[in-house]
């Protein structure tokens, strides 16, 4: 059934606590909600999180992208037509991945509801089963705030931590010393530097002075510095996680011939350009033996949390960790009711959405 209405709404939901890292300070969401509606008033919803420092996108650029192509999408009624449009417009999507993510996700949600199928069944993927384990993210807050947040995570059973690097050596030493001092041997720590260093020598000198055992380091150098990251991986004997440096399938050409211990790919559905492109990257990663993390932009709502579950569920065998699913742990309110988010020990039970049509979410903005 053709799409009768397509709307876009910027989302600016306040955070309960500011989130700070090397590339940005965030106090509210920066994303868009796309709603597509058919002639029977059935709605599909999608979300995109533009990040200028990741994909070059903004809320305004998403608006422009949608206005330019809106009429073409109004006649899309099948997944194959959606795939065909994406294939024919690959270069355009490469420059507007978060925008396309919002459109694609909304259409898949709508098509699933029209067919009475969860999106996994719609796409011929395994149904959602079992729980999903999420990691805790510690930002570049003050030492006191960091300590309080860390203890809060420990008290509810988290053992996997992503720590944002500040670039202030003593601060980072103090924070990692605190993590290293815990007696729990199951705790895992990886760093996220958000492209902090401009040269390998500076990064190597800094990182070698940090205490504790690290399981991986994310984006230590400038975007696309694969050679420098290879050297860091070799010298530090930990894999490098590619996030801002990996947005498209064709970038496998730069990394697929390296030793398997060199890389991990952080697949964030929004920056990749939607569920289908994320699935394609995960498929190729499995073929060449590179593990993945299913990541998230800070401030995602339940919509992108649900989209990411489709990818994580299909590639559990190469999945090292999952990020996101903060819901109202971070947001003052979510757009879905109930919000899809992790609980005790960072575990998320997908039962509430796994059998429902489309994404299985209830848009509280539409029902309020």
What is the pLDDT averaged over residues 166-173?
A: 94
d(CA 94, CA 214): 33
Count each helix (H run) and each strand (E run) in the chain, helices first: 14, 15
β-strand pairing of 132-133 with 347-348: antiparallel
Encode pLDDT of 3-41 as tens digits: 999 999 999 999 987 776 555 677 889 999 999 999 999
What is the pLDDT averaged over residues 130-142?
A: 89
Residue 20 is predicted with a pLDDT of: 66
What is the pLDDT averaged over residues 63-75?
A: 96
Residue 78 is predicted with a pLDDT of: 95
Candidate from 62-66, 144-148, 232-236 with smallest mean pLDDT:
144-148
Residue 23 is predicted with a pLDDT of: 56
Average pLDDT, the chain: 94
Encode pLDDT of 81-132 as tens digits: 999 999 999 999 999 999 999 999 999 999 999 999 999 999 999 999 999 9
Candidate from 13-17, 92-96, 204-208, 351-355 with smallest mean pLDDT:
13-17
The residues, ordered by sequence, that sit 6+ positions from 234 with a Cβ below 8 Å of its Cβ are 262
Sheet holding 3-11, edge to edge: 3-11, 31-38, 43-48
> pTM for the full model?
0.95
Residue 144 is predicted with a pLDDT of: 84
Residue 1 is predicted with a pLDDT of: 80
Is residue 53 within 8 A of residue 244, CB to CB? The reply is yes
Residue 243 is predicted with a pLDDT of: 97
Encode pLDDT of 38-55 as tens digits: 999 999 999 999 999 899
- Place 164 in a pLDDT band, splitting at 50, 70 and 90: very high
d(CA 4, CA 75): 9
Residue 24 is predicted with a pLDDT of: 62
d(CA 13, CA 330): 10
Where b means 16+ CB within 10 Å and e means fewer, 71-86 reads eebeebbebeebeebb
Residue 64 is predicted with a pLDDT of: 97
Encode pLDDT of 314-350 as tens digits: 999 999 999 999 999 999 999 999 999 999 999 999 9
d(CA 341, CA 352): 11
Domains by residue range for the chain, with CATH: 3-122 (3.30.390.10), 132-367 (3.20.20.120)
Residue 204, classified by CB atoms within 10 Å of its CB into exposed (0-12), middle (13-18) or buried (19+), is: middle
Residue 276 is predicted with a pLDDT of: 98
Q: List the Cα angle 161/335/194 in 5-degree steps.
A: 35
d(CA 277, CA 48): 14
Q: Does 186 have pLDDT greater than 70?
A: yes
Q: Does 368 have pLDDT greater than 60?
A: no
Q: Does 70 have pLDDT greater than 60?
A: yes
- Region for 275 from its dihedrals, namely left if φ exceeds 0, alpha if ψ lies in -120 to 50, beta otherwise: alpha
């Amino acid at each position: 059934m053709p799409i009768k209405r397509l709307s876009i709404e910027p989302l600016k939901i306040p955070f309960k606590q500011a989130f700070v890292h090397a590339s940005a300070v965030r106090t509210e969401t920066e994303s868009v909600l796309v709603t597509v509606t058919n002639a029977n008033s059935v709605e599909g919803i999608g979300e995109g999180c533009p990040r200028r420092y990741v994909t070059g996108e903004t809320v305004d650029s998403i608006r422009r992208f949608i206005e330019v192509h809106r009429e073409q999408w109004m006649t899309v009624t099948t997944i194959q037509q959606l795939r065909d449009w994406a294939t024919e417009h690959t270069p355009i999507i490469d420059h507007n991945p978060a925008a396309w993510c919002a459109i694609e996700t909304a259409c898949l949600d709508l098509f699933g509801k029209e067919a009475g199928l969860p999106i996994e069944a719609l796409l011929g993927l395994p149904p959602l089963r079992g729980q999903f384990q999420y990691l805790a993210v510690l930002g570049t807050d003050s030492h006191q705030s960091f300590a309080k947040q860390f203890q809060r995570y420990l008290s509810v059973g988290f053992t996997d931590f992503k720590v944002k690097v500040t670039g202030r050596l003593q601060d980072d030493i103090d924070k990692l010393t605190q993590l290293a001092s815990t007696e729990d041997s199951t705790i895992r720590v990886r760093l996220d530097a958000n492209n902090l260093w401009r040269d390998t020598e500076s990064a190597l000198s800094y990182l070698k002075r940090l205490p504790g055992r690290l399981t991986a380091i994310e984006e230590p150098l400038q975007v696309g510095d694969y050679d420098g990251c290879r050297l860091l991986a070799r010298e530090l004997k930990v894999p490098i996680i590619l996030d801002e440096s990996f947005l498209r399938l064709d970038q496998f050409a730069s990394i697929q011939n390296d030793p398997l211990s060199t890389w991990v790919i952080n697949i964030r559905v929004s920056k990749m350009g939607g569920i289908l492109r994320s699935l394609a990257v995960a498929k190729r990663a499995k073929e060449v033996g590179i593990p993945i993390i299913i990541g998230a932009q800070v401030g995602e709502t339940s919509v992108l949390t649900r989209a990411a579950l489709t990818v994580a569920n299909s590639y559990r065998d190469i999945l090292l960790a999952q990020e996101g699913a903060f819901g109202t742990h971070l947001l003052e309110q979510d757009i879905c009711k109930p919000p899809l988010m992790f609980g005790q020990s960072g575990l998320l039970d997908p039962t509430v959405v796994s059998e429902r049509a489309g994404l299985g979410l209830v848009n509280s903005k539409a029902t309020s």
